[in-house]
């Protein structure tokens, strides 16, 4: 009975957890993010669709938050769903001012939150998690010409070519006619050993281009590169480091398990020591950048030793609060002792997963973010599993009780049968004794009659 009670408690917790998940995913919204470029006095209507993923009756309130909330007009502030309505759409209008002083990205959020009505007609919030958000990002260009750059370097072995990739993003109001990078290469003693130039490209406003350059490395060692990007007479600088020669620590994979957006993600960076000696102070660093080259992640693992010819996972943690779904470009930097190595990475962040590709080493398929309508079958599957588990548990209990009852009945029948046999045996034993006594008595009578006959003969 105690085991059954424990099992019931566990089952109750599982059901409760599933119901909580159900509540969290009860709402959905699309699109999750809209991006527009700033234009003076721009007016734009935007349509959002809210999904009733659980097909239930509820009311939702709609409100705005963020620095641009005063420029948003909501068509309505409430949505009422019946269990028969799977989705509803509403519009809002963004009315931008004549000017936004600060260049860069500005955001407003449209929040849809589930509420419940009290008897008095007052609104109460059901739960802090039962809400969905659609973001509107307004990109305000920098005055004139303004570019930001990012440098990725692919190291090489001796007498092979080192490859340089410079991503240049034009965030200014004007097009860039010519963008070109001059790369200065320094050795470990900070001595300039080479000067190379990239190709040249034009970059339209609000666009990005990649400049490329190569350098044939003929001396082993660690190097530092400084890229000076000249765009129509203006300069921006970016730096990076690389190594020529065998780098003993090889990246194999980057993975994240059991993730949910807004929580802390644990990155497992799998590396291999290809040397026949121990590597000391091995560290992995991960960086990610958004579309404007703003750094959104910079995390490091703790220094560790890796035995010769062995693999090991280096762990790093990223707080994803405020991070939005999307695909981001970045880099993996591996260091040990006085050596360093870089690899470009691409990371896809969704509501329930983080997938990272090490360019040229691993690969993954980046799917479109899952819509709320696609989540419905998943929840239905969960409910089906729950129902089947309950049915199985009911059948088990029924069979258990039945088998227990049958066992008890069988034991009783066996006991009753045993008693009947014992009675029969006692009765049979009594019958045998009676027959034996009768036989004995008959024998004695016959014997006495024979003795009397014998006496009678002798007297004659």
In this prediction, residues 338-358 reach a mean pLDDT of: 90
Average pLDDT, the chain: 79
pLDDT confidence of 366, banded at 50, 70, 90? very low
Q: Exposure string (b/e) for 299-322, b if CB count within 10 Å is 16 or more?
A: bebeebebeeeeebbbebebebee
The answer to whether residue 132 sits within a structural domain is yes
> Kind and range of the H or E element at 442?
helix 372-459
The answer to whether residue 323 sits within a structural domain is yes
246, 263, 280 - which closes a domain:
246
Domain with 233 in it: what CATH number? Answer: 2.60.40.10
**Pick from 148, 218, 137, 213: which is nearest to 176 by CA?**
148
pLDDT in tens, 125-167: 444 446 788 889 898 888 899 999 999 888 888 888 999 999 9
pLDDT confidence of 373, banded at 50, 70, 90? very low
286 and 195 both lie in a single domain = no
In this prediction, residues 327-336 reach a mean pLDDT of: 92
**Containing structural domain, residue 291:** 247-367
Question: How large is the C-alpha radius of gyration of the chain?
Answer: 42
Helix (H, G, I), strand (E, B) or coil at 393: helix
Output the pLDDT for position 22. 44
**Which is more confident, 4 or 98?**
98
Output the pLDDT for position 365. 41
Residue 21, pLDDT above cutoff 50: no
The answer to whether residue 444 sits within a structural domain is no
- List residues bridging with 392 in a β-sheet: none
Query: The pTM is what?
Result: 0.53
How crowded is residue 382: how many other Cβ atoms within 10 Å of its Cβ?
14
pLDDT confidence of 3, banded at 50, 70, 90? very low
In this prediction, residues 345-371 reach a mean pLDDT of: 72
pLDDT in tens, 277-301: 999 999 999 999 988 778 899 999 9
Output the pLDDT for position 195. 96
Residue 394, pLDDT above cutoff 80: no
367, 388, 406 - which closes a domain:
367
109, 124, 140 - which closes a domain:
140
283 and 356 both lie in a single domain = yes
The answer to whether residue 180 sits within a structural domain is yes
| Overall number of domains in the chain | 4
């Amino acid at each position: 009975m105690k085991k059954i009670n424990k099992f019931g408690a566990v089952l109750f917790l599982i059901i409760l957890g599933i119901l909580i998940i159900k509540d969290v995913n009860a709402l959905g919204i699309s699109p999750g993010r809209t991006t527009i470029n700033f234009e003076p006095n721009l007016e734009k209507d935007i349509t959002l669709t809210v999904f009733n993923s659980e097909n239930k009756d509820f009311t939702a309130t709609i409100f705005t938050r963020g620095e641009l909330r005063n420029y948003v007009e909501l068509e309505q502030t409430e949505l009422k769903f019946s269990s028969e309505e799977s989705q509803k759409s509403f519009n809002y209008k963004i009315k931008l001012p004549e000017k936004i002083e600060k260049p860069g990205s500005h955001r407003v959020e449209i929040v849809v939150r589930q509420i419940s009505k009290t008897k008095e007609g007052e609104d109460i919030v059901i739960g802090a998690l039962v809400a969905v958000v659609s973001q509107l990002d307004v990109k305000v260009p920098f005055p004139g010409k303004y570019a930001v750059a990012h440098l990725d370097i692919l190291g090489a072995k001796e007498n092979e070519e080192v490859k340089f990739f410079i991503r240049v993003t034009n965030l200014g109001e004007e097009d860039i006619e010519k963008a070109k990078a001059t790369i200065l290469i320094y050795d470990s003693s900070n001595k300039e050993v080479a000067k190379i130039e990239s190709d040249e490209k034009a970059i339209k406003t609000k666009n990005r281009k990649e400049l490329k350059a190569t350098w044939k490395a003929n001396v082993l060692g660690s190097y530092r590169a400084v890229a000076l990007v000249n765009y129509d007479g203006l300069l921006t600088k970016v730096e990076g480091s690389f190594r020529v020669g065998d780098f003993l620590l090889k990246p194999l994979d980057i993975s994240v398990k059991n993730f949910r957006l807004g929580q802390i993600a644990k990155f497992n960076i799998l590396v291999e020591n290809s040397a026949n000696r121990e590597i000391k102070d091995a560290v992995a660093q991960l960086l990610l950048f958004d579309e404007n080259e703003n750094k959104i992640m910079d995390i490091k693992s703790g220094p560790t030793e890796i035995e010769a010819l062995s693999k090991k996972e280096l762990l790093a943690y990223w707080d994803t609060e405020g991070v939005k779904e999307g695909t981001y470009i970045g880099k993996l930097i591996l260091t040990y002792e006085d050596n360093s190595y870089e690899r470009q990475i691409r990371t896809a962040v969704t509501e329930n997963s983080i997938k990272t590709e090490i360019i040229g080493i691993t690969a993954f398929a980046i799917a479109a973010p899952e819509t709320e309508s696609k989540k419905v079958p998943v929840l239905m599957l969960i409910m089906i599993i729950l129902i089947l588990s309950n049915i199985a548990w009911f059948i088990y209990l029924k069979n258990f009780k039945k088998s227990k009852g049958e066992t008890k009945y069988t034991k009783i029948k066996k006991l009753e049968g045993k008693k009947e046999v014992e009675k029969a045996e006692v009765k049979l034993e009594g019958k045998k004794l009676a027959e034996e006594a009768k036989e004995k008595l008959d024998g004695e009578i016959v014997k006495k009659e024979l003795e009397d006959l014998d006496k009678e003969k002798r007297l004659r």
